[in-house]
A = this chain, B = another copy of it.
Amino acid sequence: MLQSYLKDTWVSPAASGPATDVHDAVTGEVVCRVAAQAPDLAGAFDHARDVGGPALRALTFHQRADLLDALAAAVRERREELYALSARAGATLLDARYDVDGGIRVLRDYAARARAELPDDGYLVEGPAERLARGEDFVGLHLCTPSPGLMLQVNAFNFPVWAPLEKLAQALLAGLPGIVKPATPTAYVTEHLVRIATDAAVLPPGTLQLAVGSIRPALDLLGEQDVLSFTGSAATAALLRAHPRVVARSVRFNAEADSVNAIVLGPDVRPGSDLFAGFVREVTTEMTVKAGQKCTAIRRILVPREVEPAALAAISAALSAVTIGNPASPEVRMGALVSLAQRDEVRRAARTIAAAGRFVHGDPGKVTLVDADAERGAFLDTILIAADPDAGAPHEVEPFGPVATVLAYRDTAHATDLLARGRGSLAATLVSDDIPWTLAVLRQAAPWHGRLHVLDTADLGQTTGHGSPLAALKHGGPGRAGGGSELAGVRGVVDLMQRTAVQASPRLAATLRASEQARS
């Protein structure tokens, strides 16, 4: 029975309450049980507000950065343990590194940014002071202060390490203690992460708590100074956003929801070219890393009509080389989905899309495996579909697994129109060396996307890829993608604080700025 970490103590849920079995994604064995209800959430909220918050707010941004570095070091020290647990959730070593090493990296990146871009003080003055009257005796500036609240993280199952660390990095810098609610299928990985942090005792009391179980009762504890940070499905995002307490208290709500992300092959890219090969590589990587269980993964592949046969052939060939099976086997490139339930949902989604076209590679009902059992493990073949670009399903249905659909576009206007039919996406990749074409598509596509990744011959060798969110850049997209914002460098930290306009005499404004600068 998985424990929660509340009020600086590991606590077990009531043994008698309802609970869910969590199964190994590869073998089907029971890994742990997750109780439906977390113990004493009200006490945990008070503890975060009364103990964790004041401890953080007493520190400067630079001192909070030290906490991130200490946490990163503690996780790095024991990362092998997290890799091993991740394999039980279906992740290959590469997948686990993406999650675990990515989490360590985001902590360090934010620590470095805080030292470089924020003062060695507990609050931030945004200036310069602007004159507000005809004379010089009345000026305005903005003051960003930590909110005396907490961040409640409601996380998805696919990044049990990166997601809590990424949110924690920003929250701790902003002076907000964190309460982490992990998704049930991978809660044991997040639990181990928190155990590593608490064993190392690198964070002040009350600044990190773990609440395993239903999040419902916690929502009624949120207040005006809290942040609810959600990653997951659009349906759950809608429930949280409209929750009476969240609405009544104007609780700051941030959502990052799955979306139907696209890649667009430019009309200038010839099959056989290096850039075309890069396009195929990008698609294959996105379909297979974490078995396609990434909210940014490419689901729609837009290609010029005349290139469709070549694209289908090249992607199919690349997918045929992907070995699937037990993620612990070194020759395996793609592991399992997180659960049998997820596998069944992806199968259904793939069949719905294929109804508007045909399966080109892979079969949702059949898969050849290395060192694993297709009945017990949540395995799925890689699946490539070719569909009518003007049908609805390819733009609306998201198979959260190794599935993508090729859609042939007629001309540039058709391509940008198809992009927008995702109704708001986290990320898209444009593949082209034609700068005017790229700029034209970029400007049309931008309002519908949180991030646009341009692949051309010049950056082909250095790109971090379509799927990697980077701390420097805004993550999160409009519309279906949830309308939120994460990461975005130091901006993301400042966005978690309260920005207050201050109108005052120059002498007071100068004192505010000086007290900040004296320490920095």
Give the interface of A toward B (CB within 8 A). Answer: 123, 130, 132-135, 137-138, 140, 142-143, 145-148, 223-225, 238, 241-242, 244, 247-252, 255, 423-424, 435, 438-439, 442-443, 446-454, 456, 458-459, 461-464, 470, 472-475, 478-483, 485, 488, 497-508, 511-512, 515
**Those 10 A-B pairs whose CB atoms lie nearest each other, nearest first:** A224-B479, A250-B483, A473-B501, A458-B505, A454-B504, A459-B505, A133-B462, A145-B446, A138-B462, A451-B501
Instruction: Tell me the complex Cα distance, A450–B144, Å.
Output: 10
Residues in B whose Cβ lies below 8 Å from that of A424:
224, 250
Residues in B whose Cβ lies below 8 Å from that of A506:
458
Residues in B whose Cβ lies below 8 Å from that of A497:
447
Distance (Å) between the CB of A321 and the closest chain B CB?
26
Which residue in B447, B453, B470 is a CB contact (below 8 Å) of A145? B447
Copies in the complex: 2
| Interchain CB contact under 8 A, B130 and A505 | no
Which residue in B135, B142, B224 is a CB contact (below 8 Å) of A461? B135
> A505 with B133: in contact, given A242-B247, A482-B250 (CB under 8 Å)?
no
| Interchain CB contact under 8 A, B443 and A145 | yes
Distance (Å) between the CB of A334 and the closest chain B CB?
25
Residues in B whose Cβ lies below 8 Å from that of A458:
137, 505-508
| Interchain CB contact under 8 A, B478 and A133 | no
Distance (Å) between the CB of A412 and the closest chain B CB?
16
| Interchain CB contact under 8 A, A470 and B140 | yes
| Interchain CB contact under 8 A, A498 and B446 | yes
> A439 with B500: in contact, given A137-B461, A250-B479, A482-B250 (CB under 8 Å)?
no
User: Assuming A438-B508, A452-B503, what are 11 further A-B pairs, CB within 8 angstroms?
Assistant: A132-B470, A145-B447, A148-B447, A224-B480, A242-B242, A250-B481, A250-B483, A439-B515, A456-B504, A478-B498, A488-B501
Q: Which residue of B lies closest to A510 (CB)?
A: B435
Residues in B whose Cβ lies below 8 Å from that of A472:
130, 132, 140
| Interchain CB contact under 8 A, B508 and A474 | no
| Interchain CB contact under 8 A, A143 and B446 | yes
